[in-house]
Amino acid sequence: MKEESLNVSLAELLAERGLRALGEVSLRGPSRGSPDVLMVVNGVRIVLEGKRPGHRAELVRQAVKRIEDGVCEVAVIVEYVEVPLSGLVVDQRGVKEALARATFNVGVVTLAEAPGLERFLGGGRRPEVAMFEGADFHDLVTVVMQAYERAVSEDLIGPVVARMEETLRRFSARLADRVDAERLREALELRRGGEAGDE
């Protein structure tokens, strides 16, 4: 069974569970590509990238790229560990039934794991993607919903602002000893309180 068929069937199965999901979507624009499954949960775009086991590093790279390219805010990576297909010829309904009984390894990548952001969030390097091994379909749906919850509750701006404030504080402290206040006041055309022209 081709991964594309699994992805489309998984999208249909997720849609049947109430998620707005489309499989093998072609997106317009540069670097947009075709995510395996595109979901929208309350306005948050979630991409699911799925492959058979043995391609985890590639899945993580694809997930990070989807976030960097602005395709989604959250990427879920899925390894199709065991999909119990019965028979040599399986129709779409049979594939969906097999996926409902399948075993997956599932991980989540959010903006916090995007390259480059870790220097502002206080970490030295990007955290590893934690994988939930041996998940069933219901676990997969739960991980998707938890990923949504994490995305909307994750404070990415606060740590960046705090880091910027600390950098500016240190810079201004160093600069304070080297600046002639009167000359700076003249350059910025600042007037002392009570002088003519104050409004």
**Per-residue model confidence as pLDDT tens digits over 30-71:** 656 788 999 988 888 999 999 999 999 999 989 988 888 888
107 and 171 in a common domain = no
What is the arithmetic mean of pLDDT over 191-196? 56
Same domain, 37 and 99: yes
In a domain, 192, yes or no: no
Shared domain for 130 and 172, answered yes or no, is no
Strand 74-82: give its sheet, edge to edge. Answer: 20-23, 37-41, 44-51, 74-82, 103-110, 131-135
AA letter at 170: R
The domain total for the chain is 2
Lowest mean pLDDT among 8-12, 29-33, 171-175: 29-33
Domain of 176?
A: 158-187
- Are 123 and 104 in a shared domain? yes
Helix (H, G, I), strand (E, B) or coil at 92: helix
Q: Are residues 65 and 40 in the same domain?
A: yes
Condensed to tens digits (0 to 9), the pLDDT of residues 99-132 reads 999 999 999 988 766 655 555 555 555 557 788 9
- 138 and 168 fall within a common domain: no
Is residue 119 situated within a structural domain?
yes
118 and 174, same domain (yes or no): no
Residue 197 lies inside a defined structural domain of this protein: no
| CA–CA gap between residue 98 and residue 86 (Å, rounded) | 8
34 and 127 share one domain: yes
The answer to whether residues 172 and 109 belong to one domain is no
Give the orientation angle of helix 3-16 with respect to helix 92-100, to 10 degrees.
70
Average pLDDT over residues 144-156: 78
Q: How confident is the model at residue 162 (pLDDT cuts 50, 70, 90)?
A: confident
Would you say residue 199 lies in a domain?
no
Q: Are residues 150 and 162 in the same domain?
A: no
Indicate if 33 and 114 belong to the same structural domain. yes
pLDDT at 15: 93
Does residue 179 share a domain with residue 142? no
Report yes or no on 120 lying in a domain.
Answer: yes
| 193 within some domain | no
In a domain, 97, yes or no: yes
CATH number at residue 50: 3.40.1350
Contact 49, 77 (CB under 8 A): yes
**Pairwise CA distance, residues 13 & 138, whole Å:** 11
Residue 25 has a pLDDT of 80
**In this structure, is residue 138 part of a structural domain?**
yes
